[in-house]
With several copies, the nearest count.
Chain A
Amino acid sequence: MKQTIFTIQENKQLTETTWRMKLKGDTSEIISAGQFVNIKLDGYFLRRPISVCDVEGDILTIIYKILGRGTEEMTHFHIGKELDILTGLGNGYDLSLSGDRPVLIGGGVGIPPLYLAAKRLIAEGRNVKAVLGYNTVDEIYYEEEFREIGCEVIIATADGSVGVKGFVTDALQTIAGEDCGYTYFYTCGPEPMLKAVYNATKTSGQLSFEERMGCGFGACMGCSCKTVTGYKRICKEGPVLRKEEVIW
C-alpha cells in the first residue's frame, strides 16, 4: 500500500452514468489485476474504493459509475486536479490458474478490473473470452476496448436490446467448445450476479466481491466475510475469493 497524490489527466463520460478517469502518479504498488485504489474526496469522511481498470507506466485508469454523492461529484473534477489515493489494495486475481481458455464474466461496474486481467492473460498467450452484461444497449462501454486487445466479447443485455437477452449466465451458455468451452473463470459484478455465476460455471474460478469499507487496507474489520478457509477481509485477503472458499 502506498499513499500518493495523483493528477487527473482525463475525466470522460462513457455512458449516461459511467465515467473513465486517467490519473498520473506513482503506480508502483499496483501489482495485480483485480486490485483496487481508495480515493479521498474533499468533504467526505471515507475514501471511495474503485477497481484498477488499467495501469500503464505511471498512468492509472479507473471507470466509475454515478451511485451517490461522491461519485456524482467526481464527474465535475477537472484535468489537473490532484487526488490523494491509496494504491496497491487487495489481493487481485491470480492469473496463473487460468488455463488456456479463461472466460472473464463482468456485470456493470464489475467490468473494469477484468480489462487489465484480459490484457495480461492475452499477453501470456491465453485465448480469452469476455462475457459482459449490461442492462441495456445505452449502458454498454468498453466492448471495443476488449476486442481491440484481442479478446472475444459476448454481450448480454437484460432487456435484449443487443446481444444475448438476459444475464451474463445466459450468455455464458452460448459458449461452446471442448468441455464447457472455458478452462477457468474470473468474475466481478453485483453480488446476485456473482452468485448466479458461481452456480452456472462448470469450472473453478475466482470471484471479486464488494463491501462497504472503513479503511480498505485491513485495519478496521469493517469488511469481513466468512469463507471455507476462515474469516477474510474483503479489502486485504480479498476482494478476490476462489470459488471453492466462498460461503453464500
Chain B
Amino acid sequence: MTDTKITLCGIELENPVIPASGTFGYGYEMAEYYDINCLGTFSFKGTTKEERFGNDTPRIAECPSGLLNSVGLQNPGVKVVIREELPKLALVFDKKVMANVSGFSVDEYVYVCERLDKERQVGWLEVNISCPNVHGGGMSFGTDPNQAASVVKAVKQVTTKPVIIKLTPNVTDITSIALACEEAGADGISLINTMLGMRIDLKTGKPILANTTGGLSGPAIFPVALRMVYDVAKAVSIPVIGMGGVSSAEDVIEMMMAGATAVQVGAANLVNPFICQDIVNNLPDVMAKLSIESLENIIGISQEEF
C-alpha cells in the first residue's frame, strides 16, 4: 500500500495536493463539480480587509505553457468572507482550509489574520507578501527581508494558528527572505507566487492586460519554482509548500523530492477543473511505478549527497 499522508505544521493531510489561492474561489464553487473532500486542503482566494474589485479587464493573457493574470486580488473583504463564504464552504468541506491573506500595510495583514485566526474552519494562515507595500514606497514586502520579517512578527502576535508566508519569485535571493521569515517566527514558507510578465497585442501595439503587466504561472515556471523550493527547503527547517506549474502527480512528486512538504496546484485548475481530483487519484499509481511507499519519505531526497 502506498501512503500519501503528510503532516503540515502539525495538521495531518490525507495527501499533499492543495489547490492554490486564486484558482479555486472559496471552494464551494468548485464543489459543484466534484467532492472537494478528496483534497489535502485548499487555499482560498486572497482576502483583504476591504472588498476589492481588482484591476480593469482584460486581466488574462495567454503565454506558452502558461498565462498572465492581473486579477488584482478581487475579493469581498474579510468580513463578508467570514459571514458568507466560510458558512457556504462548511456545507461541502469537512477539513481545515488554508486562509490566504493579502494586505497593503502591516496593519492590514494584522487585521485580517486576527479575524481569520478565530475561525474554526481555518487550519493555517497563508500570508501572501507579494503585494506592493504602499507605506514602503511601492516595493513589495516580499522583496526585502526586513519588511518580510516585520509582517511575520506582527501577524504572529495576534494569531494562534500556523502562519505560512507566501513568497514572490521576483527577487535576487529568495533564500535570504525565507530565512528572515523563519527567524521572525513563521511556521512555514509557501512559494512561488507568479513571475512578473507582459504580453503585447500585435494588432494594436498595446499591452494586452489593462494593467500592462501581470503574473506568469503555469508549467512555464515549474523549473524556476522547483529550484527555489530546493534552495529554500535546504536553508530553512520549517516546512515548505511548493507550487508553480504543477499539473500532474509526477510534478507533485518532483516538488516533494526538491523539498516540499505539500504542493499547491494553481493555473492547471483553470484549464482542467478536475485536475486536483485527477492528481489525487493518480498519485498511488505513480508512486507504485516509482517504488515510492510513502510520500513523507521522499521530501527533500534530492538534497541528500550520495
In the complex, A touching B (Cβ < 8 A): yes
- The chain A residues found within 8 Å of chain B, CB to CB, are 1, 3, 40, 44-47, 86, 211-215, 217-226, 231
Is B49 an interface residue when CB atoms closer than 8 A count as contact?
no
- Cβ–Cβ contact B63 & A45, under 8 A: yes
- Cβ–Cβ contact B273 & A231, under 8 A: no
State the Cβ distance, B249 to closest chain A Cβ, in Å: 13
- Tell me what chain A mostly uses at the interface: helix, strand, loop, or mixed: loop
In the complex, which residues of chain A have a beta carbon less than 8 angstroms from the beta carbon of B270?
46, 214-215, 219-220, 222
The 8 Å CB contact of B67, one of A214, A218, A224, A231, is A214
CA A204 to CA B147, docked complex, whole Å: 53
CA A122 to CA B64, docked complex, whole Å: 44
Q: Which 9 A-B pairs have the closest CB atoms?
A: A215-B270, A222-B60, A212-B58, A221-B74, A212-B60, A214-B60, A46-B62, A214-B270, A221-B71
- The chain B residues found within 8 Å of chain A, CB to CB, are 22-25, 29-30, 32-33, 45, 53-54, 57-67, 69, 71, 74, 208, 218-219, 267, 269-274
In the complex, which residues of chain B have a beta carbon less than 8 angstroms from the beta carbon of A86?
273
In the complex, which residues of chain B have a beta carbon less than 8 angstroms from the beta carbon of A224?
53-54, 57, 59, 71, 74
Number of interchain pairs (Cβ within 8 Å): 87
CA A218 to CA B32, docked complex, whole Å: 11
In the complex, which residues of chain A have a beta carbon less than 8 angstroms from the beta carbon of B69?
214, 220, 222
State the Cβ distance, A14 to closest chain B Cβ, in Å: 22
In this complex, which of B22, B65, B270 has the most chain A Cβ atoms within 10 angstroms of its Cβ?
A: B270
The 8 Å CB contact of A45, one of B23, B67, B269, is B67
- Cβ–Cβ contact B59 & A222, under 8 A: yes
In the complex, which residues of chain A have a beta carbon less than 8 angstroms from the beta carbon of B60?
46, 212-214, 220, 222-223
CA A225 to CA B23, docked complex, whole Å: 18
- Cβ–Cβ contact B67 & A46, under 8 A: yes
- Cβ–Cβ contact B67 & A219, under 8 A: no
CA A44 to CA B22, docked complex, whole Å: 21
Q: Using A218-B25, A219-B30, A220-B23 as known contacts, say yes or no to A46 and B57 having CB atoms under 8 A apart.
A: no
- Cβ–Cβ contact A3 & B57, under 8 A: no
- Cβ–Cβ contact B53 & A226, under 8 A: yes
- Cβ–Cβ contact B269 & A215, under 8 A: yes
23 contacting pairs across A/B (C-beta < 8 A): A1-B33, A40-B271, A45-B62, A45-B219, A46-B271, A86-B273, A211-B57, A212-B60, A214-B69, A214-B270, A215-B269, A217-B273, A219-B24, A220-B270, A221-B71, A222-B57, A222-B60, A222-B69, A222-B71, A223-B57, A224-B54, A224-B71, A225-B57
Specify the chain A residue showing the minimal Cβ separation from B59.
A222
CA A1 to CA B270, docked complex, whole Å: 13
- Cβ–Cβ contact B53 & A219, under 8 A: no
CA A220 to CA B46, docked complex, whole Å: 11
